Every structure is written in C-alpha cells, then in structure tokens.
Structure 1
Amino acid sequence: MTKINNLNIVVLIICAIILTSCGTYFNQPYQQERAKLGEQTKANKNLINLPPPKEPIVVGVYNFRDQTGQYKPTENGSSFSTAVTQGATTILTKALEDSKWFTVIERENFTNLSTERNIIRSTRKQYRQTTNPNEPQLPPLLYAGVLLEGGIISYDSNIITGGFGARYFGLGGSTQYRQDRITVYLRAVSTSNGEVLKTVYVSKTILSQAIDASLFRYVKFKRLLEAETGITKNEPGQMAVTEAIEKAVEALIIEGIKDQLWAPQATQEASKKLVDDYLLEKSDAMSTEIYDRLLIKRRGKTAVTGALGLSRISGDLPNPEFEFNSKIGFKYFLNPAINVNFTYNKFNLKNKQLLNEGYMSFDLNAEYVMLPYDKFTPYVFAGVGSNASNYFDTIDLKMQFGAGLEYMVNNNIGVFGYAEHNTAFTDQLDFVEAGKRDDMYYRFGIGVNYYFSAPKSNKDLKKQQRRELKQEKRRIRKENLKQKKDSTKEE
C-alpha cells in the first residue's frame, strides 16, 4: 500500500512539473549565451515598411529623457534603480533611422562634436601654413528643420494585479500576474518659427507572470517529502520603451502626411490608404478605455429570445420539486442599456404527490443591461404579468423580478442565463389557501437572444468611418480654398 501511495506522489509531482513549469525545464539557460543582435519589435516592422519620403526631413533630438521620476518597484518598497531606461534618446535616434524618413543630426552630445570639429579646424589650419595651402575648409554643420521633443512621461506600476491558487492535502500551485504601463509623448517643433507641428502619445503595458507548484507530504512515519517548482517571466522594460517610441515615430510620420507637412514617395491611393488605416486605428483607440475595454455598440435594436429551464413553487404545500420551464419573447431596446421585453412562458409547478399543474404566463419587463458595450454583461429586470392554467380556468396577476448574465457570441447571437422570482397576487396557485402570504415561484434557465438589427460589423464601421473621413477632408479642402481666396482678395 505504501508503494502505491509513493507512486501516486511521484506521479503528482511529475504532473505538477509538466503542467506548471514546462518553460523552466525544457528551455533552461544551461550555458552562457553569445552576444546577438537586438530583437525586433512589431512596431519596428511597421516602421520599416512605411513608404519612403519624397525628401528626408532633417531633425535634431537634444534630449528625449525619462520624465517619470519613478524608481523600480520592489516587494519592500522601491530601489534606487530607475523604473525605465535613461537611454531613450538613443532609442529614438535608432527608430528615426529605421524609418528612413529622417536625416538625424547629432545634438545630444553636441559639445563632443563641437570640440572634435575645433580640433580638425586647428589641424587643417596648421597644414595650410606649413604643408598644403590648398587644404579644404571644414564643411558647415547641417541644421535641423524640425526638432523632436518629449519623453517618457509616465510609468504606472501595478495597474492590474491578480492570481489564483489552490492547495489540497499538501499539494498545491498558484499563478500570479502584474501589469505596468509606460506612456511616451513625442512632438515635432518647427525651427523656423517655433510652432509645434504635431504631438502624439503612445502607451505600452509591461507584463510579469509567475507560476509555481509545491508538494508537502509525509510519505511515512518520520519521512517528509517536499518538492517545489516554478517559473517567472518578466517582459523587458527596455523592449516596451522601444516599441512605444517606434510606434510614436510611426504615428508622427502619418500625422504629418495627413496634415500635408510632408509627403511619401507613393501613389495618392497608397497614401490615402495609409492615412485611413491609421485614422481607423486611432478611432479604435478613442473607443477603448483603460484595461482594453472596447466601447462599441454590440446589441441590435430588436431581438427574439428563447430559453429552457426549471421552475419551483413556494406555496402552502410541502415538498416542492423542480419542473420544466420554457419561454419565448421579443425585446426592443430604447437605448443601448435599457430595453422592454414581452415573453410567453410555459411551465409546470409541482409538489411531490400533491400537485403537478401546468401554467402559462405573459410577462412584460423592463430590463437594464449593466455593461452594454461589453461582450459579457450582467443584467437585471422587473415587471408585471399574468398567470393562467393550461385550460384558462384561472387567471391571476403577478409581478416578477430577476437577474442574469449574457455573453455575445457574435453581433447577432447572445447566450444568457437567468434567475427569476415571481409573486402571484393570489394564494390559490397551488389550490390551497393557508397563511397570510401569497404563493410564489421561481424560474431558472439558459437561452439565446437573436438580434435582428445587429450593429454594424467592423468592416461596415470601417467603411462608414472612411466615408466620414472623406467628408471631413472635403470640408477641410473647401475651407482651405476659401481662406486662399480671401487672402488673394486682401492682397
């Protein structure tokens, strides 16, 4: 018996190791790694794939620094190490070079450059006097038409934390996660008049995860078995900063194309598609709250509903039992959160060996959807109705209220579950009149809502947004033409 128990323990340990720490055991750094080129982010790929400019823009970056003032958080508070890299200027310079849209001139360490040029100038002067009078002059420095300013302006730690764990009979495991967020602002400033041409900002989350499993078990008398395994993964902060800066550079380029500050070396259709795709992405970002909650209309104006479930009476007779319940109905939404619905219900009420009667009810409810822009939402409802026996021998008024949960499978179909309390305005529902309280019953079920007038799909929304963008562009062109005419008349 002991051998069998020991074998079970070993199997449990192996399962725990496989399920919780595959990455640890099958991807361990057993030996030192050689130096390699840095990883490429998704934002960098998009940046490289941008169409080339008609003419590169000469830009200078004096200082693009960490403005958060945040120190790296630890379990015991914070350390003296900063939370984000202090080399953001270097990262921005690399992103500008990768885009092929900018000619970057050195301004961060301009003192070093100026000192070196003075040395060259002095050396050439001596050569002209002693050896070669035709020694060429040092060419002038490039000057920037645009300055790029901004920085890392925010580092928010622990914006989401959570986890899960369980332990039984000495065997357990847990998982934990934490999400931080950085925000980058980037602006382009004209050196001719100091005008801020464009400002963009980008945020990026940083994810940390930990998984562990442990076993603490007495195998036999005075024999204790302990085992522990785990893995922790932390998204590199430098990679998050890099991706945010590269995304900001991409956004700045496309914003400049949109406002005709600069132009790509591409057809008008390709330029238009690039700008439209960016504006759609920007529109999605404006419709998204923090924690990636996308605020779009998900439910149509009208819907039919159907459900199956159970009913249970709470009356004057003992031993109530669950019986069959079904319903069909129609919903009409007054706004995204509130609808009125009418349902026809067919159900049985039963007390063991005393009552088993079929009923139908017609209910009119007002329903409030708590999270109308989310796929998964709770809702509550209340209303009035009437009960009738199968042969309409008795008809009684009632009131009902309840709550439920709905999940949108797609734009047309929502799956829901509900629980409902019904109070009849009679004590004769079970054909027995006793006590002071009227009879009540409960209904539970799961069902499907089918939305006829489903909201527009993402493709339809994009088409609509493109139409709106075209109209906006026409309006801007008309205003520009009008301003030009007015300025010509004044001249």
Structure 2
Amino acid sequence: MKISTYISLFLLLFLSSCGAYYNQPTGVERAVIGEGTPATSLLKDLPKPKDKVVVGVYKFRDQTGQYKPLENGSSFSTAVTQGATSILIKALEDSNWFIPIERENIGNLLQERNLIRSTRQEYVKDADPNAPQISPLLYAGVLLEGGIVSYDSNIITGGFGARYFGAGASVKYRQDRVTIYLRMVSTSNGKILKSVYISKTILSQAIDESLFRYVNFKRLLEIETGYTTNEPIHMAVTEAIEKGVESLVLEGLKEGILQSTDAKEIVDAKIQAYDKEKELADKSSMYGRVLDPKRTKFGIEITGGTTLMDGDYANPLARPFGRGALKYFLSESINLSASTNVLKLANKNNLDVGYITTDLNMEWLLLPRDNFSPFVYGGGGYGFTRKFENTHGKVQFGAGLEYLLSNRIGLKLFGEYNINFSDNIDYIETGVRDDYYYKFGLGLTFYLGKKRSKLF
C-alpha cells in the first residue's frame, strides 16, 4: 500500500509537468531550416514598397562586453551572438523594403573584383575591346548603424517548492533581457533619419520533482525527474532585430521618408496600430507594468463586512456593518472619502447595540497606476445611536488592497481600527481606557466620469 501510494503521488507530479517534458530528444536530429520568430510574420506583412531602398550595413556589433553568466561566475563565451550583422541583413531581405549590399566584408569583394580584372587583361588576349567591363558596385542610399547595447542577467528570479514526507517538487525561473538600438543614416548628408530602440526578455525555467522515502525496513525508494527550458538567446536577438526593422519601416512611412504602393487605408491602419503599441510602451515600465492613470476623479464606494468590539466586556461577537462613501481624487494617489456607516457592536450576553457614524478619511493609493494596489487611510468621524442617546467623536485608520476588475470597478478588501473618545460605547464605564472596535470589510468602488490620459 505504501509503495502504491508513493508511486501514485509521483505519477501525479509527473503528469502535472509541462508539455516540454514529453518532447525530449532521444536521437540524432537532421538539420532543419531555421525557425521564425513572432516578429518574422509581422515583418513580412508590411505594406509593399514603392521603391526599394539600397542599404549598407558595415557592422552591427555586440557592444555589451558581456560574457555568458554561470552559477559560479562567468565563462569566456560571449552572452550574445557576434553574428548580428547577418541577422540584420536577413531581416532586411524579409521585409522586402530594402536591397542589402555587401559592406561587412567589402575588402574580400574588392579583392575578388581586382582578380577578375587582372585575369581578363592577362589571359583573355582575343577578347573584344568593346566588351563591357565588370559591372559597377551599387552604392547605398542609407546606412543602418547601431548594435546590441545591453544584456541584463537575472532581472527577475524566483520559484516555488514544497516537500512533505520525502515527496516534493520545485519550480524555478530566471528572466534576462537583451536590448538593441538601430538607426537609419542618409549617405547624402549624414543625417540620422530615424532611430528605434527594442528590448526582448529571455526566459529560463526549471522544474524538478523527487520522491525519497523508506517504504520498508532497509527498503529505500528514490525517484527524481525534471527538466529545464532556456529560450535561445539567438532567437531573442533575431526577434529584437526584426522588430527594429519593422519599426524603422513604419516610422519611415509615418514621416514620409518611405512610400508604399498599398492603399492609404491599409498603410494608415498599420501606422495606427504601431502608434498604439508605442503609446503602450511609453506608459510601461519594467516587469510589464503599464503606467497609465487608472481611476477617474470621482467614485462611489459600497462596502459590507463585520465589526468586532474591543471594550470593557469580554467575549466580543462579530456583527455586520455597511458603508456608503463618496470619493474625490486630489491627485492620482490621494483622495478624500466621505462615508456613512451603519454598524452593530456586540458582546456575548452583555451588549448588542447599533450605531451610525459619519467619517471623513484621507486615502493614499501606493500604486495608483497599477491594477493591484495597496492603500492606507486615516481620518476622523462622529458616531451616534439612532435616537442620539449615545454620541461620541472618534478617529480611525486602516489599510487594505484594491484590485481593478475593469476600468470602472474596483474590488477592495480592508481592515480598520476605530479609536473612540468615549468609554460609554458599550454602555458601561470602567477603568481609564476608552472603548475601541475593529471593522473588516469587502466592497466595490465604482469610478465615474471620463478617464483622461493624464488626470492632473
């Protein structure tokens, strides 16, 4: 029974692994045509050019000086490819907008042409003197310059693992990032026509599963499995370069530097999609955070939850409360909240009384441009029973989390501590300490009005 239990647990871990586990190489594979990247199809789907541009690429270099990182240091192998020039030329061909000419090894080309001329002069004696000479070299209308400017290792690392009675599993991941700059230079006057900046993350993952357990006297069962996947750095560099070429073409179309034979509607749709992507990139920061104002100036909050008395009696009981609030944002992160609260406070066999409070709070959202943000707040208020038999002033403070379910609705969870300037909240005055109570709530905030690109 023990052995079958452990094997079943291992199989459960095994079957929960990712699909890469089931595609492990078990034999020699033949050479295949290189895979494309997500940017390759976008590059080939660009509008058709009116005239192709003759372009020269002398060198698209690795400017990072970065060596391949290892767990115990670094190796003498470079972190990124040294053949980025060849990748760029292939991307220029795939775009169908450029005619690349040989410039990286132009010395070899010129030497070969000199050999052709000398061979004809020396050995072809009876050749027609009017025969055409070797055709002239094309010259570039523009040059493409730039390079791979950075390779950042371990910008994010993390993982998760668990082990129980010798059975466990773990997941680890690491994210690197490569960045390129690409610029188009006019050969007639040296003017930089356009410059683009592209970055691409590189993901590595490792999954391990193991079972180590004595199943009987002197009988040890040990099972291990796992796999690691590393996104090829070459593919990441290729995708970044292809995205850079696509951006250069669309920037050229947008500025009128390049012209297309496609219908204006098609070109405008491509440029509009590109502008939206740029706008999103301008609002984004590291780790995929989109730094865009999320909330309007006005909001209505509806909240429900429970209260817990902290007074002179023992055995407090949880009782419900409800809140309605109006919010006005003074800035993206700070707002004023005016609320009315209906609540009950109770202690077992001693107290069960209802109160109404009016509160005014100042609330601070710590991450106002994220969908998920913690917040803290504090303020003052006034409480009374329905017949105004018992009134009191108070201050309150609390903290919570808010998650935007949509552009207009936020879900919030919070806890609050109320300090009352009265020892008669529970209708008994004992000692020198006033009566306090806690509130724990869950609610919705509805944001009203038009959301602007910049609120304040």
1:252 aligns with 2:222: no
Partner of 2:154: 158
Paired AA for residue 347 in structure 1? L
Q: Could you list the per-position Cα deviations for residues 118-163 of structure 1 after superposition, in whole angstroms to 9, with x for gaps in the alignment?
A: 1211222235423554543101111111111111010000111111
Structure 1 residue 205: Cα displacement: 0.5
Structure 1 counterpart of 2:10: 13
Superposition pairs of residues 325-404 of structure 1, within 5 angstroms = 325-404=321-400
Distance 1:444 1:385 in 2: 17
Residue type matched to 1:8 in 2?
Answer: T
Deviations 1:16-53 (A, max 9, x none): 111135531x2221222221111111211111111121
Q: What residue number does 2:91 align with?
A: 95
- Match for residue 66 of structure 1? 62
| SS of aligned partner of 2:273 | helix
Q: Separation in 2 of the partners of 1:205 and 1:213?
A: 27
* Aligned ranges 1:446-465 → 2 under 5 Å: 446-453=442-449, 455=451
Query: Following the alignment from structure 2 to structure 1, what is the Cα–Cα distance between the partners of residues 144 and 14?
Result: 50
Would you say the 8 A contact 1:412–1:454 is kept in 2?
A: no
Q: After superposition, what is the alpha-carbon deviation per residue over 1:365-387, rounded to whole angstroms, capped at 9, x for unaligned?
A: 11111111100000111111111
Give the Cα–Cα distance (whole angstroms) in 1 for the partners of residues 194 and 329 of structure 2.
Answer: 42
Is contact 1:312–1:321 with CA below 8 Å preserved after alignment? yes
Query: Can you list the C-alpha shifts for 1:216-248, whole angstroms capped at 9, x where unaligned?
Result: 111122211111111211111000000000011
2:397, 2:127 → 1: CA distance? Answer: 102
Aligned position for 1:467:
none
Matched residue type, 2:13 = A
Q: Write the deviation string for residues 373-430 of structure 1: whole angstroms up to 9, x where unpaired.
A: 1000001111111111233211111110001100001011111100000011100111
Q: The residue matched to 1:20 in structure 2 has which SS?
A: coil
**1:104 to 2:100 alignment:** yes
Is the counterpart of residue 51 in structure 1 residue 47 in structure 2? yes
| Partner Cα separation in structure 1 for residue 187 and residue 19 of structure 2 | 55
SS of 1:129's equivalent? coil
* Structure 1 unaligned blocks of 5 or more: 465-491
The equivalences for 1:160-175 within 5 A come to 160-175=156-171
Q: Within the alignment, does 1:427 sit opposite 2:395 as a pair? A: no
1:29 aligned residue: 25
Amino acid across the alignment from 1:6: I
- For residues 447 and 129 of structure 2, the distance between their equivalents in structure 1, rounded to whole angstroms, comes to 88
Contact 1:67/1:152 (8 A) holds in 2: yes
> Which one-letter code corresponds to 2:12 in the other structure?
C
The percentage of aligned residue pairs carrying the same residue is: 53
Query: 2:226 — aligned with what?
Result: 230
Deviates more, 1:231-240 or 1:355-364: 355-364
TM-score by length of 2: 0.96
- 1:77 counterpart residue number: 73
String of CA shifts for 1:330-387, please: whole Å, max 9, x gaps.
Answer: 1111221111111121221111111111222111111111111100000111111111
Greater mean alpha carbon deviation, residues 209-218 or residues 122-131:
122-131
Q: SS state of the match for residue 16, structure 2?
A: helix
Compared with structure 1, are the counterparts of its residues 169 and 22 closer, same or farther at alpha carbon in structure 2 (3 Å cutoff)? farther
Q: Which moved more, 1:42-51 or 1:261-270?
A: 261-270
Q: How does 1:100-179 map to 2 (within 5 A)?
A: 100-179=96-175
- For residue 317 of structure 1, give the secondary structure of its aligned residue in structure 2: coil
> Which among 187, 194, 199 is matched to residue 183 of structure 2?
187
Match in the other structure for 1:201: 197
Contact 1:170–1:216 (Cα < 8 Å) also in 2:
yes
Structure (1 or 2) with the greater helix fraction: 1
Name the aligned partner's letter for residue 281 of structure 2.
Answer: A
Amino acid paired to 1:229: T
Letter in 2 for 1:66: D
Letter in 1 for 2:197: Y
- The question of 1:291 aligning with 2:287 is answered yes
Aligned counterparts of 2:125 and 2:264: Cα–Cα separation in 1: 57
> Does the 8 Å contact 1:21/1:229 carry over to 2?
no
Which residue of the partner structure matches residue 276 of structure 1? 272
**1:302-321 to 2 correspondences below 5 Å:** 302-321=298-317
Q: Normalised by the size of structure 1, how large is the TM-score?
A: 0.89
Give the distance between the partners of 2:267 and 2:84, measured in 1 at CA. Answer: 30
Q: For the residues of structure 2 that align with 1:124 and 1:78, how far apart are their CA atoms?
A: 53
SS of equivalent residue, structure 1 residue 433: coil
Q: CA RMSD in A?
A: 1.6
Tell me, yes or no, if the aligned pair for 1:128 and 1:135 is still in contact at 8 Å.
no
Give the Cα–Cα distance (whole angstroms) in 2 for the partners of residues 443 and 135 of structure 1.
Answer: 98
Q: C-alpha separation between the residues in 2 aligned to 1:111 and 1:23?
A: 46
Q: Letter of the aligned partner of 2:400 in structure 1? A: G
Letter paired with 2:392: D
Pair 242,276 (structure 1): closer, same or farther in 2 beyond 3 Å: same
SS of the residue 1:288 aligns to: coil
Query: Partners of 2:328 and 2:322 in 1: how far apart?
Result: 20
| CA deviation string 1:313-336 (max 9, x = no partner) | 111111112221221221111221
Query: Residues 291-313 of structure 1: CA distance to partner in whole angstroms, max 9, x if unpaired?
Result: 11101111122111112211111
- CA contact 1:303–1:330 (8 Å) conserved in 2: yes
Instruction: Give the equivalent residue in structure 2 for 1:471.
Output: none
Q: Give, in whole Å, the separation in 2 of the partners of 1:391 and 1:250.
A: 72
Amino acid at match of 2:17: T
